[in-house]
Amino acid sequence: MKRVEIGLLGFGTVGQGVFELLERQREILIKRTGLDLRVKRILVRDLNKKRPLPKELFTTNFEEILNDPEISVICELIGGLEPARTYLLRAIESGKQVVTANKAVLAEAGEEIFRLAKEKGVYLGFEASVGGGIPVIKTLKEALVGNRIESILGIINGTTNYILTRMLESNLSFERALEEAKERGYAEADPSLDLKGFDSAHKLAILASLAFGSYVSSEKIYVEGIDEIDLMDLKFSRDFGYIVKLVASARRTKRGIELMVFPALIPENHILTSVRLNYNAVYIKGDFVGDILLYGLGAGKEPTASAVVSDLVSAGEYLIHKRAPLLSYPQSTSHQLKILPISESLFRYYFRFTAVDRPGVLSKISGILGKYDISIASVVQIGRQIRKGAVPIVMLTHETQEKKVVDALNEIDKLDVVRAKTKRLRILT
Amino acid sequence: MKRVEIGLLGFGTVGQGVFELLERQREILIKRTGLDLRVKRILVRDLNKKRPLPKELFTTNFEEILNDPEISVICELIGGLEPARTYLLRAIESGKQVVTANKAVLAEAGEEIFRLAKEKGVYLGFEASVGGGIPVIKTLKEALVGNRIESILGIINGTTNYILTRMLESNLSFERALEEAKERGYAEADPSLDLKGFDSAHKLAILASLAFGSYVSSEKIYVEGIDEIDLMDLKFSRDFGYIVKLVASARRTKRGIELMVFPALIPENHILTSVRLNYNAVYIKGDFVGDILLYGLGAGKEPTASAVVSDLVSAGEYLIHKRAPLLSYPQSTSHQLKILPISESLFRYYFRFTAVDRPGVLSKISGILGKYDISIASVVQIGRQIRKGAVPIVMLTHETQEKKVVDALNEIDKLDVVRAKTKRLRILT
């Protein structure tokens, strides 16, 4: 049995979860791995906060943890960019193994963190940074090591998935569903990072870096959230046989890599539409493995602790064998990857026009679409007025290019018969 | 870069897939892992079979592979019990790392194979033995290392899942769906191992061994297949909101471990009902991670090769670091596990009685159920005659014990108003 001393940075929900797991499962872990994982010190901001643990365990001074020669693994659970970034870099620099659950720091400063870890030959575990307890990092790095990854399609934000599910299934407005998510602890007080899609983009940057073997910054990702989603569009989509989900998509195409986060219409018989409420899932296509789906709770104290501890075990293994990581990190340059601008992407589209209920309107709209080579697959004009004198016209198109759609809708929205900005969603096929 | 020489045993579909993957992805694999994995020799039965590869690669003599000091990894892709068992044991005995895709040999001789591998400190990879390309072994052993596994529910046989899906979705008889599965290569010429549930039981034995940390022989598993399934029951079940799937279930209960394979009614909103056609999935509950689902192609040349190669990479890692496996194999005794007989298990049940269409029949049947304390949740009598003078009565029960059901149905089937053996299926909740 080998004892491994751990320094925890942060003692919020996840930190407490990790501590509890290590205590409660000590025997199982020793039996399974031969490792006795011990939390030796915990970095907190406030020493005087009441905690049911001995005071000596806590410190407000990072140096005490960094300079403790017995501590060989540093586990960062603070979140956010700073001071997490500095702590991680200094821990790696000093040769300690590191584990982090922090997607933001990897999406924003991943390049230097990955590079330094490689240079120093230390283990860098980040399973909990994407998808909570779902083993998506391990699967991409290890299980699919023999595959060229063709695409990743993820529902990797529990807040937005909860809201979209509740809206559609219980006929709730966006505001009501958001309120409910907050009450249940599935949305933060300021949920904008989640709602606007940036949390998904952070996670997608990490997944894409692994999938394409080259560091991807989240700034390169096209991001559209669900903060302007309307219940009406979820229902019309369902009538056409689609469920709307906020997806994070990374796709290898002949012309380059597509990286985007957006609310998408997914065909009802796709397994991703079964991912409801606060569950997450990642759908991966590899050239040998075919389609794989990994599904589970994408956040929360216990699932996240489960992922962190699997990394702590790996860190312990690296320590024992004094080895450099064999499975390489993404390389530190993104130059090789040609990332396509969204304007070049091809999609089928869902449009909802808000137009006056008068002869000739549909002909005007479809005339403009025709001018931009956008071909209509189906159209439904709904009798019910949604605003004074205006009715919704819902249309699905055949595949077309994003930039044509932008131009066409600009022109359509200027028509005097059109009474509101046209709603546009992309369809996954 | 480290060169690793591999001896392949068997060159059927999977063997060819592994060979092709290693050739086609050589550069990716070297870049990602630093390992140059080379197949040095291949054991085949017939040297004269036409193959598009140099003759020197092949041998019919296992000793030539075993005694080649350059070959450090032996990859067994023959399948079946013998000679696979002997080859694996001899390879381990001689200190070579081993990888196998063979569920039968692990389910039947796993105890001695696991024990010897542990004793000799060699790596034993078996990811491809369950669920094809789905990383279920890695997830159970590594990602969920900090969890006590509460239950596993798997759809781990593609043949039967294909048949059940096609029957229900296209209104096909069992025979017609089986024929179609054969035409598409999803069923073997003699499909009885699959249809009778034994293939699922082999795989469940492996999963349960990992989940419960103690070797489980497939003989301990209660097995019921789909060879007596009737389209009518799939349709009635759907009317009640359930989809019938052949499941492999391992469950920790207060009174012991339940291990069983059977066709089950699964509630329509459970994600497992989205697993269609030849796809497989494993649904795992851990005490920290909550619910996890892993989904993908459970068989086939490329998906299986993907899993085998991830094990070959792990074998290469072990070689480089000359280390004994840290994550322990299941222990070699099953004495600690108390496995419950099916008669003790509790389920809700689906019954279809075939009874004469006459007053008082339902009262007779429900009288007997009442006598055995079996409580009825819902009942539907269908007008349409299914055989001369007899109509189906479909009933769902509340939770009750298997042995009571067996006794009650024995008595009911002896009634003169009952015209055929009652169909009984278990319901998962």
Question: Distance (Å, rounded) from C-alpha B328 to C-alpha B308?
Answer: 20
H helix intervals, A171-291: 174-183, 192-195, 198-212, 231-239
- Asked whether residue A170 falls in the same domain as residue A260, the answer is yes
Nearest 5°: the CA angle A413, A418, A423 is 60
CB of A307 within 8 A of CB of A127?
yes
Distances (CA, A) of A137 to A320, B143, B146: 22, 10, 17
Residue range A122-174, pLDDT digits in tens: 999 999 999 999 999 999 999 999 999 999 999 999 999 999 999 999 999 99
Residue range B328-351, pLDDT digits in tens: 677 655 557 899 999 999 999 999
How many domains, in total, are found in chain A?
3
Contacts of A29 in chain B (CB under 8 A): 145-146
- And the tokens for A139? 């699967």
Question: Distance (Å, rounded) from C-alpha B40 to C-alpha A270?
Answer: 42
Question: Distance (Å, rounded) from C-alpha B98 to C-alpha B371?
Answer: 56
- Asked whether residue A277 falls in the same domain as residue A147, the answer is yes
Sole residue written with tokens 């751990």: A6
Higher pLDDT, B417 or A331: B417
Chain centre to alpha carbon of residue B272: 14
pLDDT at B325: 62
Nearest C-alpha neighbor of A158 from the set A208, A195, A125: A195
- And the tokens for A148? 């060229």
Higher pLDDT, B388 or A125: A125
CATH number, domain with residue B89: 3.40.50.720
Catalytic residue list contains B203: yes
Residue B328 counted as domain residue: no
Sole residue written with tokens 């409660």: A24
Distances (CA, A) of B15 to A214, B71, B79: 31, 17, 11
Active-site pick, B118, B203, B285, B404: B203
Residue A328 counted as domain residue: no
pLDDT at A381: 82
| CB-count exposure of residue B225 (10 Å: 0-12, 13-18, 19+) | buried
CB of A165 within 8 A of CB of A277?
yes
- Cβ contacts of B104 within 8 Å, gap of 6 or more: B79, B80, B81, B84, B202
Q: Omega into A83 within 30° of 0, i.e. cis?
A: yes
Whether A263 has its CB under 8 Å from any CB of chain B: the answer is: no
Give A252 to chain B, closest Cα distance, Å: 16
In A97-236, DSSP assigns E strands to: 97-100, 124-125, 149-155, 222-223
Nearest 5°: the CA angle A300, A306, A307 is 95
Query: What is residue B141's DSSP assignment?
Result: I
Which of A73-87, A319-333, B378-392 has the largest mean confidence? A73-87
- And the tokens for B277? 């056609």
Last residue of a domain, one of A297, A330, A364: A297
Whether B328 has its CB under 8 Å from any CB of chain A: the answer is: yes
Strands A222-223 and A256-267: parallel
- Asked whether residue A369 falls in the same domain as residue A270, the answer is no
Question: Furthest-apart CA pair in chain A: how many Å?
Answer: 81
Contacts of A31 in chain B (CB under 8 A): 213, 328
Percent of all residues in chain B with a pLDDT value above 90, rounded to a whole number: 87
Whether B28 has its CB under 8 Å from any CB of chain A: the answer is: yes
pLDDT at B382: 78
Question: Distance (Å, rounded) from C-alpha A405 to C-alpha B337?
Answer: 62
Given its phi and psi angles, is residue B225 left (phi above 0), alpha (psi -120 to 50 degrees) or beta? beta
pLDDT at A326: 64
Nearest C-alpha neighbor of A145 from the set B308, B143, B300, B103: B308
CATH number, domain with residue B388: 3.30.70.260
Helix (H/G/I), strand (E/B), else coil: B11: coil
Work out the end-to-end distance of chain B between its first and last CA atoms, rounded to an integer number of angstroms: 52
Percent of all residues in chain A with a pLDDT value above 70, rounded to a whole number: 96
Query: What is residue B271's DSSP assignment?
Result: G
Residue A331 counted as domain residue: no
In 10 A of CB B100, how many CB atoms?
27
Q: Pick from A13, A288, A297, A320 the residue to mutate for testing the B interface (most B CBs within 10 Å).
A: A288
Residue A127 counted as domain residue: yes
Complex ipTM: 0.95
CB of A338 within 8 A of CB of A309?
no
- Asked whether residue A171 falls in the same domain as residue A238, the answer is yes
Mean predicted confidence (pLDDT) in A183-192: 94
Chain centre to alpha carbon of residue A191: 14
Question: Distance (Å, rounded) from C-alpha A348 to C-alpha A237?
Answer: 13
Interface contact flag, A288 B33, Cβ < 8 Å: no
Contacts of A133 in chain B (CB under 8 A): 286, 288-290, 292
Supply the mean pLDDT for chain B.
94
- Cβ contacts of A137 within 8 Å, gap of 6 or more: A126, A127, A129, A130, A206, A210
Last residue of a domain, one of A288, A321, A354: A321
- Asked whether residue A114 falls in the same domain as residue A164, the answer is no
- Asked whether residue B242 falls in the same domain as residue B143, the answer is yes
- Asked whether residue B82 falls in the same domain as residue B59, the answer is yes
H or E stretch at A87: helix A84-93
Residue B334 counted as domain residue: no
Work out the end-to-end distance of chain A between its first and last CA atoms, rounded to an integer number of angstroms: 52
- Asked whether residue A267 falls in the same domain as residue A179, the answer is yes
Residue A232 counted as domain residue: yes
Helix (H/G/I), strand (E/B), else coil: A60: coil
**Phi, psi for A228 (deg, rounded to 5):** -115, 20
pLDDT at B116: 94
CB of A98 within 8 A of CB of A104?
no
Residue range B112-123, pLDDT digits in tens: 999 999 999 899
CATH number, domain with residue A281: 3.30.360.10
Contacts of B313 in chain A (CB under 8 A): 142, 145-146, 326-327
- Asked whether residue A62 falls in the same domain as residue A166, the answer is no
What is the span of the domain harbouring residue B29?
2-132+301-321
- Asked whether residue A187 falls in the same domain as residue A260, the answer is yes
- Asked whether residue A173 falls in the same domain as residue A246, the answer is yes
- Asked whether residue B20 falls in the same domain as residue B154, the answer is no
Model confidence at A376, in pLDDT bands (50, 70, 90)? very high
Between positions 93 and 152 of A, the ones with CB within 8 A of B are 127, 133-135, 138-139, 142-148
Mean predicted confidence (pLDDT) in A301-328: 87
Residue range A73-98, pLDDT digits in tens: 999 999 999 999 999 999 999 999 99
- And the tokens for B427? 């319901």
Residue B349 counted as domain residue: yes
Give A374 to chain B, closest Cα distance, Å: 33
Residue A326 counted as domain residue: no
Residue range A411-428, pLDDT digits in tens: 999 999 999 999 999 999
Strands A71-76 and A2-9: parallel
